[in-house]
Amino acid sequence: MFAVRSAFRAGARAAVPFRTFATSSSRAANTLLFLEHKNGAINPASLSALTAAQKLGGEIHGLVTGRASEAKKVAEEAAKVGGLTKVLVSSSDAFAYPLSEPIAPLIQSLVSKNSYSHVVAGHTAVGRDVMPRASVLLDSSQISDIISVEGEDTFVRPIYAGNALATVKTSDKVVVFTVRGTAFDAAKAEGGSASVEEVEAGEAPQPTKFVEEQVSESSRPDLATAARVVSGGRALKSAEGFEKYIEPLADKLKAAVGASRAAVDAGYADNALQVGQTGKIVAPELYMAIGISGAIQHLAGMKDSKTIVAINKDPEAPIFQVADLGLVADLYEAVPELTEKL
Amino acid sequence: MRASLVNQLRVLVPVKRTIDYAVKIRVASDGKGVDTNVQHSMNPFDEIAVEEAVRLRERNKEAVKRITVVSAGPTKSQDVLRTALAMGADDAIHVDVPNAIEPLAVSKILRAIVEKESGEDEIGMVILGKQAIDDDASQTGQMLAGLLNWPQATFASKVELEGKGDKGDKVKVTREVDGGLAIVETQVPLVVTTDLRLNEPRYASLPNIMKAKKKKMTKYSIADLGLEKDVEPRLETLKVSEPPQRQGGAKVENVDELIAKLKEAGRI
């Protein structure tokens, strides 16, 4: 039964294995990939975006921005990533935090200098913030959150909270798109030998000042990339409910903790844990939805998971329509029993 | 300097009429779009944007002079403009666009509005939803900020205006980013996009709905704004299809069976 369900994901991943596309233009793709990083590590979503960019064929240059010390270190890491031919590194204090106002004009100037045909980034909070600003400076109509590359100018993306898939073809000279990380495997962080080239930051406008970041601390795996996710909904009734029922099960499974919007809004779980159209999009091997009814907006964020398990006492809950394994039971009894027996 | 005047800031709030969030959409039989013959309402993120503009004035009466809502779309878009007026906006602009347009085109229309409305009643802040729930693009606010060369504060969960809304006045915004929150400080004029947790939009009361009918609605065509070329689509939708359906519904009787099935599938 699982084979059928994973067919879509496998298809989305492997649909276009590095073929060259017949296009009207003779120009080969020449792609600029914005590499997001934090604490010295390249964001996995950028590595998935690289895999998507490889399907275009042609050369791919990575762009690393940041403060001098960190940018250099990340650029060295990036040079080792398989698939990049060159790493451009631009360092300036203006890039200490990834803000759109200085980064978008930098991307614009690199495109005009190096004639990139494509500009790509992960569809993360940073990618969503920076790329449309770069896109408008290039007078290009961005294609957001693609899940498949069908050609140099043709992409598939979900619309209406993932309830429909649109295949769109662009006529723009410079194609700007962002990539859904869970739809592509991350490129290998090793095996590459790209050259590193410094580029001037230019004037780097800085109308916005970064003040501080409030990071949700967690020792668990990162929600967006975890192999297993245990999510709780409104039925947990309190933050203590999350602590008592969801977290021990997640720890047992070495899983990340997720939450429905209802649980987040009620204050049971942190905002950063929200899974859905307006939160994180996840596609783990195993997704356990506990006390989650399964609203359209939640399903948008997890329905590409390989195996979905639902525990809910309402047999009519819509979550059971997508769950591979459903257990109609009171979570207050079933979850501790499950945690115990694992 | 306009410092001697009170009520400085004019806020522009773009709103979009979308298929209601609760509707289960269906792909149209021609495979080129979705069936739009269903309940529509204001994009939920835009409701939050309208609410924030109204609250900004309630919190800081000195600062906000006027709240103008704008929508680009077919005539029916006037419905969502009326809703926004009933929530507390002062006047509305309807840009008549018969067909669906891309965020790039919308951002150019909004820039034209900001420029057209410059002068005495200059727009100093544009508050938009972070994304429309139909195309899920999440681009328009960022594109508008890029066109105007204004700072942008996206995915805001808190907006604090420090000052009276004069040019250069500080605005502190808490943004929802991956892994937590980022607090940034920027300045008027600026573009803000709203995240879900910014506020809880109010319901329009019946008296306010009645009052909204009397509020001013200005209508422009694309030609009025000189943007005929700018709204031409860059993207062609080749097809719209149903996502692969999951065949859920398999139930297990108890926890033991659940564990056994998960083991069998190699998931644990």
pLDDT at B157: 97
| A222 falls within a domain | no
The CA distance from B37 to A253, in Å, is 45
Q: Is there a single domain that holds both residue A119 and residue A232?
A: no
| In a domain? residue B76 | yes
Q: Which domain holds residue B117?
A: 9-265
Q: What CATH code is carried by the domain that includes residue A167?
A: 3.40.50.620
Please count the structural domains in chain B.
1
pLDDT category of residue B153 using cuts at 50, 70 and 90: very high
Bridge-partner residues for B126, per DSSP? B12, B191
Residue B91 lies in a domain: yes
pLDDT, residue B249, reads 78
Query: Cβ contacts of residue B247 below 8 Å, gap of 6+?
Result: A1, A4, A5
β-strands A307-312, A286-290 pairing: parallel
- Give the containing element (helix H, strand E) for A209: strand A209-215
Q: Within this chain, do residues A40 and A186 fall inside the same structural domain, yes or no?
A: yes
Residues A146 and A233 in one domain: no
Binding site for FAD: which residues of A? 234, 260-261, 274-278, 291-298, 312
Q: Mean pLDDT in chain A?
A: 92
Q: What one-character DSSP code corresponds to residue A19?
A: P
Angle at CA A139, nearest 5°, toward A138 and A145?
Answer: 85
* Pair A234, A288 in one domain: yes
Name the burial class of residue A11, with classes exposed (0-12), middle (13-18) and buried (19+) by CB atoms within 10 angstroms of its CB.
Answer: exposed
**A253 near B CB under 8 A:** yes
pTM across the whole model: 0.92
* Residue where one domain finishes, among candidates A182, A198, A214: A198
Q: CA of A330 to nearest chain B CA: how many angstroms apart?
A: 11
Interface A-B: count of C-beta contacts within 8 A: 259
Q: Is residue B2, in this structure, part of any structural domain at all?
A: no
Alpha-carbon span B257 to B255, nearest angstrom: 5
Which residue in the set B186, B233, B255 is minimally distant from A334, CB to CB? B255
Task: Identify the helix (H) or strand (E) that includes residue A203.
Answer: none
CATH number of the domain within which B69 lies: 3.40.50.620
Q: How far is CA A122 from the centre of its chain?
A: 6
Q: How many domains, chain A? A: 2
Among B102, B248, B249, beta carbon nearest to A141: B102
Tokens of B25: 């959409």
Strands (E), chain B: 9-14, 17-19, 40-42, 64-73, 91-96, 123-129, 152-162, 170-177, 180-187, 190-194, 217-221, 235-241, 251-252
- ipTM score for this prediction: 0.95
Angstrom distance (rounded) from CA B17 to CA A210:
34
How is residue A89 written in tokens? 């590194």
Indicate if A176 and A240 belong to the same structural domain: no
What is the gyration radius of the CA atoms in chain A, in angstroms?
21
Inside any domain, residue B243: yes
Answer whether A277 sits within 8 Å of B133, measured CB to CB: yes
Does A187 share its domain with A83? yes
Percent of chain A at pLDDT > 70 equals 92
**Rounded Cα gap, residues A118 and A172, in angstroms:** 10
The answer to whether position B104 is within a domain reads yes
User: Which residue from A141, A208, A342 is facing B186, i.e. has the nearest CB?
Assistant: A208
- The DSSP-derived string for A262-331 is HHHHTTSS-GGGBBSTTSB----SEEEEES----HHHHTTTTT-SEEEEEES-TT-GGGGT-SEEEES-H
Residue A27's pLDDT band, with cuts at 50, 70 and 90, is low
- Window 64-93 of A: residues touching B by CB (8 A cutoff) are none
Give B40-80 pLDDT, tens digit per residue.
999 999 999 999 999 999 998 889 999 999 999 999 999 99
Give domain status of residue B3, yes or no: no
Looking up residue A262, the CATH number of its domain turns out to be 3.40.50.1220
Residue A8 has pLDDT above 90, yes or no: no
- At A222, which helix (H) or strand (E)? none
Beta bridge partners of A122: A179
Q: Does some domain include residue B193?
A: yes
Nearest CB to A325: which of B180, B190, B250? B250
**Structural domain of A77:** 31-198
Residue written as token pair 């967006």 = A224
CB spacing of A133 vs B184 below 8 angstroms: no
Which of A198, A213, A241 represents a domain boundary (last residue)? A198
Residue A252 included in any domain: yes
Where is the domain boundary, A198, A214, A247?
A198
A284-328 pLDDT tens trace = 999 999 999 999 999 999 999 999 999 999 999 999 999 999 999
Which strands, in side-by-side order, build the sheet including A307-312?
Answer: A256-259, A228-232, A286-290, A307-312, A325-328, B251-252
Helix, strand counts (H, E) of chain A:
10, 18
Whether chain A has a CB inside 8 Å of the CB on B36: the answer is no
Average pLDDT of span A41-56? 97
Same domain, A152 and A257: no
Residue A287 lies in a domain: yes
Structure tokens at A325: 């394994």
B4 belongs to a structural domain: no
Same domain? For A98 and A151 the reply is yes
- Which residues numbered 219-238 in B keep a CB inside 8 Å of some CB on A? 233-238
Instruction: Tell whether A100 is covered by a domain.
Output: yes
Answer yes or no: are the C-beta atoms of A74 and A44 closer than 8 Å: no
| Statement to judge: residues A102 and A250 lie in one domain | no
A112 inside domain: yes
Q: Which residues of B touch A296 (CB under 8 A)?
A: 21-22, 24
Cβ contacts (< 8 Å) between B258 and chain A: which residues? 309, 325, 327, 338
Q: Are residues A187 and A103 in the same domain?
A: yes
Same domain, A188 and A307: no
